[in-house]
Amino acid sequence: MIESCGIRLDFTGTEGFLLPAEVDAMEPAVAAAAAELAGGTSPGADFLGWLDLPSRITDDELAAIEAEAERVREFADAWVVVGIGGSYLGARAVLEALGGPADGAPEILFAGTGLCSASLQDTLRRLEGKEFGVGIISKSGTTLEPAVAFRMLRALLVEKHAGAGAARRITAITDQARGALRTLTDQEGYHAFVIPDDVGGRFSVLTPVGLVPLAVAGVDVRGLVKGAREMQKVCDTAPLRENPAHLYAAVRHGLYGKGFPVEVMSSFHSGLRQLQEWWKQLFGESEGKGGAGIFPASTVYTTDLHSLGQYLQDGRRELQETFLVARSAVGDLKVPVDPDGRDLDGLDYLAGRSLDEINWKAFEGTRNAHLEGGVPCTTIEIDKVTPETVGALIYLFEKAVAVSGRLLGVNPFDQPGVETYKREMFRLLGKPGAGS
């Protein structure tokens, strides 16, 4: 058990599959990987800006983000975040983990996350009769999915608000000097924030990419940054057994070498679903290269115990499971006494007990069952989901995947495989210069 920043990591459920001595033997390799990152000598070193980002964020930067959020709230009933992959997943993950927009904040919608016409049409319907703004997040401004959505949303704003009226309702988060979106931003006079050149999309939630949408939603972004800062300090610790990110990276990598190439992140808190989605992108894009890498998957229990639970319990023994669990969500929601006194559903033994308590017992029972079924289990436990604990989790996972990628011998900061589908898609669409 290791505890830091309100987060407890329990690896006892892996010890029947990976001996503690085997984990300890990985300390030199982990230290070498961490030294590469700290010294800027790892592959992809141009994208290491996330490593000390929490400690570099200034009060002035946060104040500017908060001021933009206040400006948006003055006119917007709804605010559409337009982006794909790392340009929206981090913000959406944090927002949903913390229970959605605060009272008085605009409704937050997401567009440009794919090319499904039904999804975009649903977003457009939800904007009918509302004053809305748009936050377009793209380094280039030409990525197909968000570019299509932005063109349509921008057309709506121009139709509704002539000239500067449309421009003041658009916030651009983009490159400082290059790209189509930067050109348009400068020409139209959009309010703008910069995506740092040295931070890749999946590591960008603590840049304006994530912080601006979260501030608009009324999230305590200072608390989020505070939690990440605290975890950054902890993850600078050298001894393996005192560093939660390094230890997590070592254990999952050790299990990978033991024949467990799939990691399932399981939660009992539906609000953490999007955080699991962000985790899947972070680890999948960072590690899945050269025929190597742990495949990241996710489940939300107890719902998925009635679908995927059978496979987890009795399927192929190639899964390692990481439980991401919160002890409490809505503590005052309790099971009532049967109103007619007959107890036909047999639940009176639970009367007066909170759903959080019952859910926690479901977690403990599931972990015990999966261990008995041959699944190595890691537990990442927090008492309550807060901006501080979510910020700490974000940094923990970012540092862990960077170390884990180097243990695999890959560059954790590129994604060459993503370009393959784009080439084929553009060829089939007849994009000029895309080939035939």
Is 334 marked active-site? Answer: no
Q: What range defines the domain where residue 198 resides? A: 53-219
Question: Does 396 lie in the same domain as 297?
Answer: yes
Please report whether residue 399 resides in a domain: yes
Instruction: Look at residue 426 in the predicted model and tell me its pLDDT.
Output: 85
* Mean pLDDT per 10-residue interval, the chain, length 436 residues: 95 97 98 97 96 97 98 97 94 97 96 94 95 96 94 95 91 96 96 96 97 98 98 95 97 98 97 97 96 97 95 97 91 89 92 94 97 98 96 98 97 87 82 72
Question: Does 68 lie in the same domain as 9?
Answer: no
Say if residue 29 is exposed, middle or buried (CB neighbours under 10 Å; 0-12, 13-18, 19+). Answer: middle
Q: Which of these is catalytic: 130, 361, 384, 422?
A: 422
Question: Does 391 lie in the same domain as 305?
Answer: yes
Instruction: Look at residue 284 in the predicted model and tell me its pLDDT.
Output: 97
Instruction: Look at residue 436 in the predicted model and tell me its pLDDT.
Output: 52
Please report whether residue 112 resides in a domain: yes
End-to-end CA distance of the chain: 57
* Contact of 192 with 173, CB cutoff 8 Å: yes
Instruction: Look at residue 144 in the predicted model and tell me its pLDDT.
Output: 93
Q: Which of these is catalytic: 230, 285, 287, 388?
A: 285
Question: Does 140 lie in the same domain as 33?
Answer: no
Distance CA 230, CA 245 (A): 13
Segment 29-62, tens digit of pLDDT: 999 999 999 999 999 999 999 999 999 999 999 9
Q: Which of these is catalytic: 74, 128, 159, 306?
A: 306
Q: Cα 286 from chain centroid?
A: 13
Instruction: Look at residue 431 in the predicted model and tell me its pLDDT.
Output: 82
pTM of the model: 0.95
The CATH number of the domain holding residue 90 is 3.40.50.10490
Is 253 marked active-site? Answer: no
Instruction: Look at residue 421 in the predicted model and tell me its pLDDT.
Output: 82
Please report whether residue 414 resides in a domain: no
Q: What are the C-alpha distances in Å from 260 to residues 15, 19, 109, 273, 284? A: 14, 15, 37, 23, 15
- Show which of 219, 237, 255 is a domain's final residue: 219
Please report whether residue 423 resides in a domain: no
Give, to the nearest 10 degrees, the angle between helix 89-97 and helix 387-408. 140
Please report whether residue 265 resides in a domain: yes
Please report whether residue 166 resides in a domain: yes
Distance CA 150, CA 96 (A): 23
Q: What angle do CA 131, 93, 358 make, to 5 degrees?
A: 115
Please report whether residue 208 resides in a domain: yes
- Show which of 177, 196, 219 is a domain's final residue: 219
Is 191 marked active-site? Answer: no
Segment 291-336, tens digit of pLDDT: 999 999 999 999 999 999 999 999 999 999 999 999 888 778 999 9
Domains of the chain: total: 2
- Show which of 219, 235, 260 is a domain's final residue: 219
Beta bridge partners of 384: 328
Question: Does 167 lie in the same domain as 25?
Answer: no
Please report whether residue 121 resides in a domain: yes
Question: Does 63 lie in the same domain as 35?
Answer: no
Question: Does 310 lie in the same domain as 229?
Answer: yes
CA dihedral 369, 375, 380, 384 (to 10 degrees): -30
